[in-house]
A and B are shown apart, each in its own frame.
Chain A
Amino acid sequence: MINNKKVFLTYTLIFFVFLTFLLFPKYQDNTKLYSFFIKEKLEKPFSFIGFKITNFISLLESNKENIKKITQLETENKYLININNYLKTIASKYSDQYNIFHENYPTIPISIGASIIGNKNLLLNKSFIINKGSLNGVNIGNYVIDGINVVGRIKSITNYNAEVVTVTSNDYGDEVFIDNQLFIVSGTNNNYLSFLRQKNDIEEISFKKNLKVFIKNEFVDLTLGKIDFINKQPVVIVPQIIDLDNLRVLIDG
């Protein structure tokens, strides 16, 4: 049956190795461990190449997806450019009308957003501190608006902060326009401003109720409030609701 002596000898050797492993399981475990160690070492270059290939394939796939996204974004961008051009055309009509009436194109004042970092509830006095200062381009006297109405003016500044005196504070005083007439008003620490006098005039002041009170700025007219009467005395009522979370400082006014 077995013509080959070498085969028989090998079988005998394997038989004794098997017996050794059976009697001393530690050697068997060590042999298995070494086998897996060799397997791991041999696998390393292949797994490295495999990792590189999978990485390359995933990159290619992500590249394809990105190209698709770019083309989508490009078409979206074209669409938005078209809308923008359309809106520009509409806005140009308004600009041209403005040019006819005012002999110049409308200019938009530069403003920066600010948020209150101190005395938000206006408890101590009618002023608060904002997080923008001289390094942001804020200067003393700049108007602070809440989008629609004047909230106050910059009273003092540091590099990074500024103190804003609100229009209702008795520290506040300003020149206002009512029916193209110039007046001087002052805060009263209440929700209205009182008239001091008409500028360059000593005549008595006479108004109608709900007349709008403007502050002339370099570029735009800022709304301060409306005329009302308290004890038959004319006052400027400021809006009750002031949006202190949406403040902007007009830095070029």
Chain B
Amino acid sequence: MVRIFLIIVCFLIYGNFNYVIDNFVIFTLINLAFYSFLKEKNLKLFDFIIFISTSYLIEIFLGLPLFVSVVALSIPLLLLSSIINNFFVHFSIISIFIFILSLITHYFLQPENFTIMKFEDYFLYLLFFIFLVISLRLDGKEQD
């Protein structure tokens, strides 16, 4: 429910504030997409729908062909998920992995933003990492 709420908020926020907020919205959606796909070994329909909806919003906002990321990224991400989740890796390492993956994706989607951004702005990105760690930990407790 938290993710759905976040998706709706991101959908409403994008384009109404400055480019920094728009950047964060895109980065949030990327994080949500990767988190939903990679958080568990067995992909659930609900997580997959969230992945579809977040990628759909990114495609709409950035003008990419619709559903291209679902079609192109689903199989590699499934492979990645099986690799990550088959080893008993600590959730913090998984969250670092998701964070770096999101950052790389964001860089490839909007490289011009990284040239505009100041050094201090990168620290704000760490907030996403903290939220990723918290959410993965809470999700793990729920499963237990």
Contacts and interface: CB of A to CB of B under 8 A. Distances in A.
B65 A10 contact: no
Interface of A: 1-4, 6-7, 10-11, 14-15, 17-18, 21-22, 28, 31-32, 35-36, 39, 42-43, 46-47
A54 to B, nearest CB: 12
25 contacts: A1-B79, A1-B82, A2-B43, A2-B78, A3-B42, A4-B43, A4-B44, A10-B49, A10-B52, A11-B70, A11-B74, A14-B67, A14-B71, A15-B67, A18-B65, A18-B71, A21-B65, A21-B67, A22-B65, A31-B66, A32-B66, A39-B11, A39-B12, A43-B16, A46-B12
User: Which of B12, B42, B66 has the most C-beta atoms of chain A within 10 angstroms of its own C-beta?
Assistant: B66
A65 B48 CA distance: 54
A47 B68 CA distance: 32
Contacts of A7: 43-45, 48
Interface string B31-43: 0000000000011
Interface of B: 11-12, 16, 42-45, 48-49, 52, 60, 65-68, 70-71, 74, 78-79, 82
B12 A43 contact: yes
Nearest to B71: A18
A46 B42 CA distance: 38
Q: Is the interface of A mostly helix, strand, loop or mixed?
A: helix
B42 A32 contact: no
Contacts of A46: 12
B78 A1 contact: yes
Given A18-B66, A39-B11, 13 more contacts: A1-B79, A3-B42, A4-B43, A4-B45, A7-B44, A7-B48, A11-B70, A14-B71, A17-B67, A18-B65, A18-B70, A21-B66, A43-B16
A3 B85 CA distance: 15
Contacts of B52: 10, 14
A47 B12 CA distance: 10
Contacts of A22: 65
4 tightest CB-CB pairs across the interface, nearest first? A18-B67, A6-B45, A7-B48, A18-B71
Contact of A36 (B45, B60, B65, B79): B60
A14 B70 contact: yes
